[in-house]
């Protein structure tokens, strides 16, 4: 199984085109060979051309496939640790590729043009070797060859378009942007199933890119481990990570922090060691944003909004809440923005950066008051996973506005949308002027949005969505094995879609079929 072209690596564009004729010929010969007979449990292979541990959607696919009775192999780069729930499963195996060096930011473009085809060739060979002699299927054009040779089903999970990412970095008219568009069109043209993260992308794949095969939308959903924490859990978590230390290390604003005595954290307090935790009346509001520190997210917008908020709050006493922004993530532009942050002279706002362990990230989201998403879609049809994580934790979001975002964020319902720093500042003022720090139920706007998220988005988690949308498609690929083995071993997968809809699950994630579009000119939703 293959995942979408969602990384910034400009991989295999020239190499894929140069060897297209050869691969097509190999494919023709492969179709003349007898089909492979699948014995035992079927294999489910995922390819991640990036850090496997930082590819949450692929890891969720892996867990769902294991739960459904598949053997799961995953190919990608080694980096962040994988969840123990996967690594402790004997039916799961990770295969790591040797990561090739990248062209450093600021290098002349000619260096990139020379290195890209060399890197693509080496990457293609390593993937092909892993696929043929290790596991089941590699990425993009290599997967097509292995499919022909080994008679596999190909599923492409489109998170975004590689061509749009290339165009953002090098320009729409650049040679590589043109090559990548052709490459995606040729090698991503046909698959058994095309998964997309949005309905807008599904329509785009059908009408503009004219993909062949079933096209279906599998919206991201947070797993059950993402949830809102109560005051006692927040107290325990804050006592562990001690955000006040980050504030002292990264900010010169000594007056920002309240005094912290025994049984107190920056946000909570207890009257005794064994007593219940409550929120402090003098606590700051906790605002979280996650980023990969790339050009897709303009953090100067957040810095400008923070400065505008601080200017309004000066001289207003306690009318405006203090704001603590915690920005998580790693990426190439992190140091550049950290330098800008260090030069800010703010009284009511502090911005710190942090890198959290995987298990601490949902706890931070579950403790926060607001999430901010600055994702600017290169394609206009992808949806940011970070908002899914925030909603999974019951966290309202202020998000940068673009067309497809309305599938996830409904303005003034489960979040707010903005287009510039001034709009974001207005939203921050509206949410945190007169902020009742000690009583979440009196935070009127935030509490309303939390209720909408709880009664809407949180009613469907990843496992239910996967079982509703993707599982029936997988089952049909090898129906005999599925009926005889998976249902026998896992009776919970006999889900009745009609019953689920009657119970109020909002999973209208529609199945799009290219054949239907030919017949009546419409996309079935």
pLDDT at 105: 59
DSSP labels, 22-75: HHHHHHHHHHTSPPPPP-SSPEEEEEEEEEGGG-HHHHHHHHHHHHTT-EEEEE
pLDDT at 150 (0 to 100): 64
pLDDT band at 318 (very low <50, low <70, confident <90, very high): confident
Domain that holds residue 387: 231-459
Q: Cα(154)–Cα(171) distance, rounded to whole angstroms?
A: 31
Both 112 and 242 in one domain: the answer is no
Q: Is residue 400 part of a domain?
A: yes
Written in H, E and C, the secondary structure of 312-338 is HHCCCCCCECCEEEEEECCCCCHHHHH
Q: Which of 405, 428, 459 is the last residue of a domain?
A: 459
Evaluate whether residue 437 is within a structural domain. Answer: yes
In which band, very low, low, confident or very high, does the pLDDT at 199 lie, cut at 50, 70 and 90?
Answer: very high
**Structure confidence at residue 111 (pLDDT):** 56
pLDDT at 326: 98
**Domain match, 282 and 419 both:** yes
Q: Find out whether 120 and 11 touch, Cβ atoms under 8 Å.
A: yes
Domain count, the chain: 2
Q: Tell me: the pLDDT tens digits for 52-74?
A: 898 899 999 999 999 988 889 88
pLDDT of residue 148: 67
Q: For 163-184, how does the pLDDT look when each residue is reduced to its tens digit (9 = 90+)?
A: 777 777 777 777 767 777 777 7
Indicate whether 519 pLDDT > 50: no
Same domain, 129 and 242: no
Task: Give yes or no: residues 259 and 132 share one domain.
Answer: no
The pLDDT confidence band at residue 208, using thresholds 50, 70 and 90, is: confident
What pLDDT is stored for residue 295 in this prediction? Answer: 79
CATH number at residue 378: 3.40.50.2000
Q: Out of 187-191, 395-399, 436-440, which region has the weakest mean confidence (pLDDT)? A: 187-191
Q: What pLDDT was estimated at residue 173?
A: 76
pLDDT, residue 104, reads 58
Task: Answer yes or no: is 354 within a domain.
Answer: yes
- Tell me the mean pLDDT in the region 333-357: 93
Is 469 a domain residue? no
CA 17, CA 165: separation in Å to the nearest integer? 19
- Looking at the fold, whether 264 and 400 belong to one and the same domain comes out as yes
Q: Indicate if the pLDDT at residue 432 is higher than 50.
A: yes
In this prediction the pTM is 0.79
Kindly provide the b/e burial profile for residues 408-427, where b requires at least 16 CB atoms within 10 angstroms of the residue's own CB. Answer: bbbeeebbbbbeebebbbbb
Instruction: Give the domain-ending residue among 143, 175, 192.
Output: 143
The radius of gyration computed from the CA coordinates of the chain, to the nearest angstrom, equals 24
Domain stop point among 405, 434, 459: 459
Task: List all residues 6 or more positions away from 85 whose beta carbon is below 8 Å from its beta carbon.
Answer: 63
Q: What is the pLDDT of residue 465?
A: 96
Mean pLDDT of the chain: 78
Residues 263 and 381 in one domain: yes
Structure-model confidence comparison of residues 220 and 107, the more confident one: 220
Q: Is 278 helix (H, G, I), strand (E, B) or coil?
A: strand
Give percent of the chain above pLDDT 70. Answer: 71
Query: Is the domain of 238 the same as that of 118?
Result: no
More confident residue, 289 or 523: 289
Residue 50, pLDDT > 60, answer yes
**400-426 residue pLDDT tens:** 999 899 999 999 999 999 999 999 999
350 domain-assigned: yes
Q: Is 23 part of a structural domain of the chain?
A: yes
Q: Among 147-156, 232-241, 354-363, 384-393, whose mean pLDDT is lowest?
A: 147-156
How many whole angstroms separate alpha carbon 219 and alpha carbon 197? 5
Contacts of 220 (CB under 8 A, 6+ apart): 57, 197, 383, 385, 388, 462
* pLDDT value of residue 308: 97
Instruction: Answer whether residue 475 is part of any domain.
Output: no
DSSP SS3 for 310: helix
Same domain for 373 and 275: yes
Nearest C-alpha neighbor of 352 from the set 449, 478, 266: 266
Summarize the confidence of residues 186-204 as an average pLDDT. Answer: 86
Residue 36 pLDDT exceeds 60: no
Residue with tokens 């993530």, as numbered in its chain? 329
- Give the percent of the chain with pLDDT over 90: 48
Lowest mean pLDDT among 102-106, 337-341, 517-521: 517-521
Contact 334, 249 (CB under 8 A): no
Task: Judge contact between 452 and 446, C-beta under 8 A.
Answer: no
The 10s digit of each residue's pLDDT in 92-130 is: 999 887 765 555 556 665 655 565 665 555 555 444 444
Which of 85-89, 436-440, 450-454 shows the lowest mean pLDDT across its residues?
A: 436-440
- Residue 5 has a pLDDT of 39
* Residue 224 confidence (pLDDT): 92
């Amino acid at each position: 199984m293959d995942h979408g072209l969602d990384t910034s690596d400009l991989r295999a564009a020239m190499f894929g085109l140069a060897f297209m004729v050869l691969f097509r010929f190999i494919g023709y010969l492969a179709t003349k060979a007898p089909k492979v007979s699948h014995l035992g449990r079927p294999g489910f292979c995922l390819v991640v051309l990036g850090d496997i541990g930082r590819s949450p959607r692929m890891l969720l696919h892996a867990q769902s496939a294991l739960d459904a009775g598949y053997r799961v192999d995953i190919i990608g780069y080694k980096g962040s640790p994988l969840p123990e729930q996967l690594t402790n499963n004997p039916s799961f195996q990770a295969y790591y590729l040797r990561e090739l060096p990248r062209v450093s930011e600021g290098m002349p473009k000619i260096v990139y043009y020379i290195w890209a085809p060399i890197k693509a060739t080496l990457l293609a060979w390593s993937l092909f070797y892993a696929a043929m002699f290790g596991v089941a299927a590699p990425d993009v054009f290599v997967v097509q060859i292995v499919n022909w040779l080994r008679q596999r089903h190909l599923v492409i999970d489109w998170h975004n378009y590689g061509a749009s990412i290339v165009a953002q970095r090098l320009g729409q008219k650049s040679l590589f942007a043109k090559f990548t568009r052709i490459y995606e069109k040729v090698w991503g043209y046909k698959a058994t199933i095309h998964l997309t993260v949005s309905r807008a992308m599904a329509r785009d794949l059908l009408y503009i890119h004219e993909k062949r095969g079933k096209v279906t939308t599998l919206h991201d959903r947070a797993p059950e481990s993402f949830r809102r924490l109560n005051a006692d859990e927040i107290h325990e978590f804050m006592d562990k990570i001690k955000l006040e230390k980050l504030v002292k290390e990264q900010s010169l604003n000594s007056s920002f922090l309240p005094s912290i005595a025994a049984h107190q954290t920056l946000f909570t307090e207890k009257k005794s060691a064994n007593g219940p935790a409550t929120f402090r009346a003098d606590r700051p509001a906790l605002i979280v944003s996650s980023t990969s520190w790339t050009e897709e997210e303009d953090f100067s917008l957040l810095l400008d909004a923070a400065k505008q908020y601080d200017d309004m709050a000066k001289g207003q006493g306690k009318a405006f809440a203090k704001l603590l922004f915690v920005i998580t993530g790693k990426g190439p532009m992190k140091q550049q923005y950290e330098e800008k942050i260090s030069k800010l002279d703010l009284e009511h706002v502090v911005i710190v950066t942090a890198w959290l362990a995987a298990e601490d990230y949902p706890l931070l989201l579950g403790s926060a008051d607001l999430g901010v998403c600055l994702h600017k879609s290169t394609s206009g049809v992808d949806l940011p996973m970070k908002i899914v994580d925030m909603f999974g934790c019951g966290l309202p979001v202020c998000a940068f506005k673009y067309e497809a975002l309305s599938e996830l964020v409904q303005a003034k319902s489960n979040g707010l949308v903005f287009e510039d720093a001034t709009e974001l500042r207005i939203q921050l003022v509206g949410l945190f002027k007169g902020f009742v720090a000690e009583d979440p139920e009196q935070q009127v706007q935030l509490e309303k949005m939390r209720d909408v998220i709880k009664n809407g988005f949180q009613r469907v988690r990843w496992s239910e969505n996967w079982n509703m949308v993707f599982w029936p498609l997988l089952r049909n690929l090898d129906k005999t094995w599925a009926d005889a083995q998976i249902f026998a071993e896992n009776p919970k997968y006999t889900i009745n879609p009609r019953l689920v809809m009657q119970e109020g699950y909002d999973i209208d994630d529609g199945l799009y079929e290219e054949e239907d579009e030919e017949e009546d000119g419409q996309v079935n939703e």
